[in-house]
A and B are shown apart, each in its own frame.
Chain A
Amino acid sequence: MALHLNLFHEEIQELRQRQRDPLKIGILVVIGFGALLFLYYAWCAYRTLEIRSRLNTKEQEWSKVEPKVIAAQKRATELTGIISTTRVLDQMIEDRFFWAPFLQELSRCVAPNAQLTSLEGNVLDDKKGVAVSIEGVSAGREPRSAAEDLRQMLLEQLGKSYKDVKVEFKTLEDLDTIVNVGGTNMAMARYVLTVSFNPFSTVAASPTPNPRMKNK
């Protein structure tokens, strides 16, 4: 076997050592890894740009729609307010007490031998009812009986239209005055009637004509 002498072994060893230089290898690894990271970053950046583009599209859509939405919301609020206000107003209109039908009923109950001298009526707060004070005089052989007839008639007629009707004498007294009714002298009595009823607990009598608002 021939003897081989390697006269360049030192150079070869240096070359190998240079190739095995950890710093160099490390730098190469870092550069390689950095390249991978850069590629990943570029991919992420691309996706981010795509998302930004989508966002811009949405922003444009929203900027077109936003004024309409604000106007719609404002209008919806306004309409809701109008609806609720109209409902409350309608309720108040419906809950009114109409005096005309009451006066009509009252005038029908007054007989020729009775006369009303004053009437004072109040609609009580919180729908508690209506209180009326009626003052008058009656004439007849039995003037007190004529006054009682009026009371009974009021009770009967008002009871047809209203609930909880009460008609009571506050005072009923004979007068000394004698009046001539139809050629006959008759005695007189003076009375004060207190009338109370509740027009709100049921459908109140509607005045004639229809109590609804006239069409504009």
Chain B
Amino acid sequence: MIPLNLKRDQIQKLVLSAIGFVVLLYVYFSFFLGPLNKSRNAMLLKINDRQSKLNASKNDISKAGSLEQQAANATARFAALKALNPEGAPIAWFPPRIKVFFANQQIDKANARLENSSPFKESELSEWMRYNWLIELPQAEFSALGTAIAELENSEPLLSITKIKILASNDQPQFQQVVMTASTIIQKR
């Protein structure tokens, strides 16, 4: 080894150089390389994130496509069920519709009035309401009534008769008085 015979001013300069070196390293890592690496790592994370989103997006799009095919029947059925009920407040169209329906079934006098309406408990039916109607047929012949009820149950899948009361008419034995409670499922408009 070469012996270091340093003078005092040389040692001072050496120390000064060392300090300068440390300052250089500090400035370099803190203000240049550090932020650069930080920014690079952040960008790499963002790239990974975007890449995973892009990969997931392909899955999402293909899943939606296959779901669209699978749901074709359900969509058509849903549209058909929705189309069963016209636009507007049910109280406006349901009673006339029932009147016309029974008139077509040879039962001339028919009255329908709303008893109550309530939402469903099922979360799937949050957009639908249950309406309970009281349908009165003061003059109905039994066989015509049976046919009419069969036709009503067939043509209105969202309607179900929950109560029925048939009374023989004293004045006109060929007729019965009928009171029905019907529940309908109608989409909120």
CA distance A80 to B124 in the complex (A): 10
B 126-156 to A, binary, CB cutoff 8 A, 1 in contact else 0: 0110000000000000110111011001110
A105 to chain B, nearest CB (A): 11
Chain A contact residues, majority secondary structure: helix
Number of interface residues of A (CB under 8 A): 74
Indicate if the CB atoms of B154 and A26 lie closer than 8 Å.
Answer: no
The smallest beta-carbon distance between B138 and chain A, in angstroms, is 15
Q: Is B158 an interface residue (CB 8 A)?
A: yes
Closest to A210 in B: B154
> Do B164 and A119 touch across chains, with their CB atoms under 8 A apart?
yes
Contact across chains for A88 and B40 when beta carbons are under 8 A apart: no
Assess A82 versus B75: contact at CB under 8 Å? Given A37-B28, A121-B163, A210-B154: yes
Q: Does B103 contact A (CB under 8 A)?
A: no
Query: Which residues of chain A from 52 to 99 have a CB within 8 Å of any chain B CB?
Result: 52, 54-55, 58-59, 61-62, 65-66, 68-69, 72-73, 75-76, 79-90, 92-93, 96-99
- Contact between A107 and B80 (Cβ–Cβ < 8 Å)? no
Contact residues of B: prevailing secondary structure: helix
Asked whether A122 lies within 8 Å of B50 as measured between CB atoms, the reply is no
Total inter-chain residue pairs, C-beta < 8 Å: 209
CB distance from A48 to the nearest CB of B (A): 5
Q: A72-B60, A82-B71, A83-B74 are in contact. Are A48 and B40 (CB under 8 A)?
A: yes
Q: Is A21 an interface residue (CB 8 A)?
A: yes
A103 touches B167 (CB 8 A): no
User: How far is B105's CA from A125's CA once the two chains are assembled, in angstroms?
Assistant: 30
- Whether A211 pairs with B60 at a CB distance below 8 angstroms is no
Cβ A85 vs Cβ B127 within 8 A = yes
- List A18-63 residues whose CB lies under 8 Å from chain B: 21-23, 25-27, 29-30, 33-34, 37, 40-41, 44-45, 47-48, 51-52, 54-55, 58-59, 61-62
Interface residue? B43 (CB, 8 A):
yes
Cα-based distance from A115 to B173 in the complex (angstroms):
11
Q: Which of B21, B54, B71, B81 sits near A26, CB closer than 8 Å?
A: B21
Residues of B close to A55: CB separation below 8 A? 43, 46-47, 50
CB distance from B154 to the nearest CB of A (A): 6
* Minimum distance in angstroms from B96 CB to a CB of chain A: 20
Q: Out of A22, A62, A118, name the residue touching B6 (CB < 8 Å).
A: A22
Q: Which residues of A contact B (CB under 8 A)?
A: 21-23, 25-27, 29-30, 33-34, 37, 40-41, 44-45, 47-48, 51-52, 54-55, 58-59, 61-62, 65-66, 68-69, 72-73, 75-76, 79-90, 92-93, 96-101, 103-104, 107, 115-123, 207-214, 216
Measured CB to CB, the residues of B under 8 A from A are 6, 10-11, 13-14, 16-18, 20-21, 24, 28, 32-33, 36-37, 39-40, 43-44, 46-47, 50-51, 53-54, 57, 60-61, 63-65, 67-68, 70-71, 74-75, 77-78, 80-81, 83-84, 122, 124-125, 127-128, 142-143, 145-147, 149-150, 153-155, 157-158, 160-168, 185
Chain A to chain B contacts (Cβ below 8 Å), 21 pairs: A26-B16, A26-B20, A30-B21, A41-B33, A48-B36, A61-B50, A66-B57, A68-B61, A72-B61, A81-B124, A83-B71, A85-B128, A87-B74, A89-B81, A97-B161, A100-B147, A103-B142, A119-B165, A120-B164, A123-B162, A214-B154
